Amino acid sequence: MMKKIIYVIIAGVLFSCQTQSENTDMQTENPFYQEWDTPYGVPPFDQIKDEHYMQAFEDGMQQQLDEVAAIASNQEEPTFKNTIEAFEKSGDLLTKVGGVFFNLSSANTNDSIQGISRVISPKLSAHNDNIFLNADFYARVKALFDQRDELDLTVEQAKLLDNYHTRFVRAGAALSLEEQGKMRELNEQLSSLSVQFGENVQKEDNKFEMLIENEADLDGLSDNIKKAAREAAQERGYNEGWLFTPHKPSMIPFITYSNNRTLRKQLKEGYIYRGDNDNELDNKELARKLANVRLEKANLLGYETWADYILAERMLDTPDKVYNLLDKVWPAALEAAKQERNSMVEMAFTLDHDVTDIKPWDWWYYAEKIKMEQYNLDENEIRPYLKVDNVINGTFTLANKLFGLTFEEQTNIPKYHPDVRTYTVKNEAGELIGIYLSDWFYRGSKRGGAWMNTFRDQSNMGGEKVIPIVTNVGNFTKPTGDTPSLLSQDEAGTLFHEFGHALHGLLSECTYPSISGTSTPRDFVEFPSQVMENWVFEPEMLELYAFHYETGEVMPIELVEKIKNAGKFNQGFATVEYMAAAYLDMAYHSITEPIEGDIDAFEKKAMDEIGLIDAIVPRYRTGYFRHAFGSPEGYSAGYYSYLNSEVMDADAFGAFKESGLFDKETANAYKEHILSKGGTRDAMEMYVNFRGREPKFEAILERRGFN
């Protein structure tokens, strides 16, 4: 029968329900329905149009539901192969389109993609419910789980079975039909609310501008900072002036070097009040709704709080264990931060007699002054040796020395933006193990921060070897004129950090894609990335990549020593700023009753309870806390994970310091027991297999200078 054509316009995007013949024609033209004959199967980005996504999503969901129905209705007794492995192989089309769409929605979005995201996110949430609330499918999985000890499964198969059984239970498969209906409703709300939260943050990022028209107001800024600001103004259509925005590559240099306190305040407040301006982009009400809906979902599943629900699947599996970790570090960190603040008050009085109280827009400025006075170290001394290309090559050199990897840049691999660089990755034997894409420069179509993701996960089901397609994305300042992109110390650490995630994906040697690569507990996944940061400013490592962008000279030993001596400088601030956000995350997700009243007051109360000083603002305030509120789960009740991972990374790097910075035996053990194993084993078991014992907590205190 001929289907009626219905057109719906959502956020400027045209979607339509077509006749079957029209659908067939569209599928013929849609790259997601074709085999990609591109090099290494990288998505043909130039052929993919925004209008291709919705149909591929819709058909991909239906295809997977058909596959699930076949598994669930199978009359044969359930086996690992016909149930678990069959599901692991399902959803090819959905995986294909999702792998492209969600990468680009973060790295190269537009109004059309954002409109699609608002539509498809609740649909995908419902799709997930349709699978994991399928009673017949759950019965087969439960039957296997109940007899798991008799199935002669491999370690990886046993972990996969346990994962799926847990996922069904946590999705609500054991609930009544009425309760399952409520669960579907709550999941749809979480999906829609989190999408809107993330969009608001990105719009806020791009909305605030501080245009300086009087050159005298640039006092204290270097020529490179001014040049970048002038180009930023021109890119936004200003013929005159210098533009600064809340994006960190723009904001941090300004609040570090500008002598104009009023303008430092203006820019810093533009950053810290994102999502908290009582306008159409305000995120406070969305955060409240997300926290309250999460509480309702947790209660429905039998948990007292959302944190209890989330942490049941983490290394630290209860809120008490998380607070125990935070509370071990917080007092020493806060005391260090107070001492740092007092030093700044003295410095401020010396330089500016009218400044008697340090504010958040003062900290970076006076910290830089103190660093110059105490260590004779200026960030501008370091940047010329951290040309972004050199730092990238440094990560490749490190990967080669540790794991024998080689990265070869290619020009024939498709890209989704001209800034992207593409590489083949080979192991020591010269075998291709993955494709690596890097996209490090800021643009307005990219969300803030830096991250790693995959367009395709590694797997080896049935002997069919699938190599991963891994991407790193960042927001570093672009080259300006004849000046290349020069990174700060923090930015160099960020690049190495995200590259650590990339190695976790590239060195995966697992059978099943859903537990390969970085598919580990949230409070373990940051460990492999944070380990890589340890090498950045080691003298032996600097000799390999830190070359002056003009002279080519290696970073002089005198500067290396100054960096080393200042290594524990300002660690009170860095730790408190981060941990305050971790406490705020836990405050939202440890509630036992819905949040009512003013959200700013809720945040203030949470910060007052830990004694946060006024001079420091949490790294993420509520309005732009995308880690906590930017996805249905994300890092909610999990932002502490970086600290938990640092306990391990500080201890693990000790193994390299003991054996040699590039010791192959240690590196091979790290690769064998951590990087190659993905999420196929218990996280602590993997760590102990590598280190021979559990991590020692004291290493993190020593590193930060708190002991």
The string of DSSP codes covering 261-273 is HHHHHHHHHHHHT
**What's the domain count of the chain?**
3
Kindly state whether residue 233 falls inside one of the protein's structural domains.
yes
Other C-beta atoms within 10 Å of 349: how many?
A: 12
pLDDT computed for residue 4 by the predictor = 32
Which residue from 1, 194, 120 is spatially nearest to 631, judged by alpha carbons? 194
> In sequence order, which residues have a C-beta less than 8 Å from that of residue 518 and are 6 or more positions away?
452, 501, 504, 505, 525, 528, 678
Among residues 500, 517, 532, which one ends one of the domains?
A: 532
Q: List the CATH number of the domain containing 92.
A: 1.10.1370.40
Structure token digits, residue 560 = 């290396």
Other C-beta atoms within 10 Å of 685: how many?
A: 12
> Are residues 33 and 164 located together in one domain of the fold?
yes
Interatomic CA distance for residues 450 and 452, integer angstroms: 7
**Active site residues per annotation:** 498
| In contact, 546 and 554? CB cutoff 8 Å | yes
Kindly state whether residue 500 falls inside one of the protein's structural domains.
yes
Query: Hunting for tokens 């797997």 — which residue is that?
Result: 459
The string of DSSP codes covering 535-582 is TTT-HHHHHHH-B-TTT-PBPPHHHHHHHHHTTTTTHHHHHHHHHHHH
Interatomic CA distance for residues 22 and 219, integer angstroms: 63
> Are residues 15 and 157 located together in one domain of the fold?
yes
| In contact, 437 and 420? CB cutoff 8 Å | yes
The phi, psi pair for 397, rounded to 5°, reads: -60, -45
| In contact, 183 and 175? CB cutoff 8 Å | yes
For residue 448, give the amino acid letter.
Answer: G
> Are residues 508 and 418 located together in one domain of the fold?
yes
> Are residues 147 and 234 located together in one domain of the fold?
no
> Are residues 123 and 257 located together in one domain of the fold?
no
Interatomic CA distance for residues 617 and 506, integer angstroms: 36
Structure token digits, residue 268 = 């810093």
DSSP structural state of residue 52: G
Interatomic CA distance for residues 92 and 84, integer angstroms: 15
> In sequence order, which residues have a C-beta less than 8 Å from that of residue 435 and are 6 or more positions away?
40, 42, 413, 422, 423, 424, 425, 467, 468, 469, 470
Residue 584 parent element (H or E): helix 571-589
DSSP structural state of residue 419: T
Burial 431-447 (b: 16+ CB within 10 A, else e): eebbbbbbbbbbeeebb
Interatomic CA distance for residues 460 and 664, integer angstroms: 26
> How wide is the angle at C-alpha 594 spanned by C-alphas 591 and 596, nearest 5°?
115
pLDDT computed for residue 352 by the predictor = 79
**Alpha carbon distances (Å) from 628 to 246, 419, 454, 560, 624:** 20, 29, 21, 37, 9
Interatomic CA distance for residues 496 and 483, integer angstroms: 22
Q: Which residues of the chain register pLDDT less than 70?
A: 1-26
Give the E-state strand segments of 427-492 in sequence order: 432-441, 451-456, 459-461, 464-466, 469-476
Which residue from 516, 502, 430 is spatially nearest to 466, judged by alpha carbons? 516
> Are residues 141 and 256 located together in one domain of the fold?
no
Kindly state whether residue 546 falls inside one of the protein's structural domains.
no
Among residues 532, 567, 590, which one ends one of the domains?
A: 532
Interatomic CA distance for residues 32 and 35, integer angstroms: 8
> Are residues 423 and 503 located together in one domain of the fold?
yes
- Binning the chain into helix, strand and coil, the percentages to the nearest 5 are 60, 10, 30
Kindly state whether residue 311 falls inside one of the protein's structural domains.
no
**DSSP H helical ranges for 147-215:** 155-171, 177-207
| In contact, 573 and 340? CB cutoff 8 Å | yes
| In contact, 235 and 211? CB cutoff 8 Å | no
Kindly state whether residue 659 falls inside one of the protein's structural domains.
no
pLDDT computed for residue 339 by the predictor = 97
Structure token digits, residue 286 = 């969305």
Interatomic CA distance for residues 331 and 578, integer angstroms: 14
Interatomic CA distance for residues 559 and 573, integer angstroms: 23
Interatomic CA distance for residues 371 and 366, integer angstroms: 8
**Alpha carbon distances (Å) from 682 to 85, 142, 166, 349:** 20, 21, 14, 54
Among residues 485, 507, 532, which one ends one of the domains?
A: 532
pLDDT computed for residue 483 by the predictor = 87
> Are residues 12 and 122 located together in one domain of the fold?
yes
| In contact, 690 and 652? CB cutoff 8 Å | yes
| In contact, 315 and 644? CB cutoff 8 Å | yes
Structure token digits, residue 623 = 């309005």
Q: What is the pTM of this model?
A: 0.92
Helix or strand or coil: residue 466? Answer: strand
Interatomic CA distance for residues 90 and 15, integer angstroms: 26
> Are residues 156 and 265 located together in one domain of the fold?
no
Based on its alpha-carbon atoms, the radius of gyration of the chain, rounded to whole angstroms, reads 26
Q: 507-518: per-residue pLDDT in tens?
A: 999 999 999 999
**DSSP H helical ranges for 16-108:** 20-29, 53-72, 86-88, 92-107
Kindly state whether residue 29 falls inside one of the protein's structural domains.
yes
Q: Terminal CA-to-CA distance of the chain, rounded, Å?
A: 76
Kindly state whether residue 388 falls inside one of the protein's structural domains.
yes
Kindly state whether residue 364 falls inside one of the protein's structural domains.
no
**Alpha carbon distances (Å) from 11 to 111, 112, 113, 121:** 7, 7, 9, 14
Q: 553-591: per-residue pLDDT in tens?
A: 999 999 999 999 999 999 999 999 999 999 999 999 999
Interatomic CA distance for residues 234 and 249, integer angstroms: 17
**Alpha carbon distances (Å) from 323 to 112, 135, 627:** 42, 37, 18
Which residue from 278, 138, 129, 103 is spatially nearest to 191, judged by alpha carbons? 129
Interatomic CA distance for residues 453 and 437, integer angstroms: 10
> Are residues 214 and 267 located together in one domain of the fold?
yes
> Are residues 411 and 510 located together in one domain of the fold?
yes
Helix or strand or coil: residue 49? Answer: coil
Interatomic CA distance for residues 376 and 211, integer angstroms: 32
Interatomic CA distance for residues 704 and 706, integer angstroms: 6
> Are residues 70 and 216 located together in one domain of the fold?
no
List the domain range (segments joined by +) for residue 241. Answer: 208-272
Which residue from 303, 304, 210 is spatially nearest to 258, judged by alpha carbons? 210
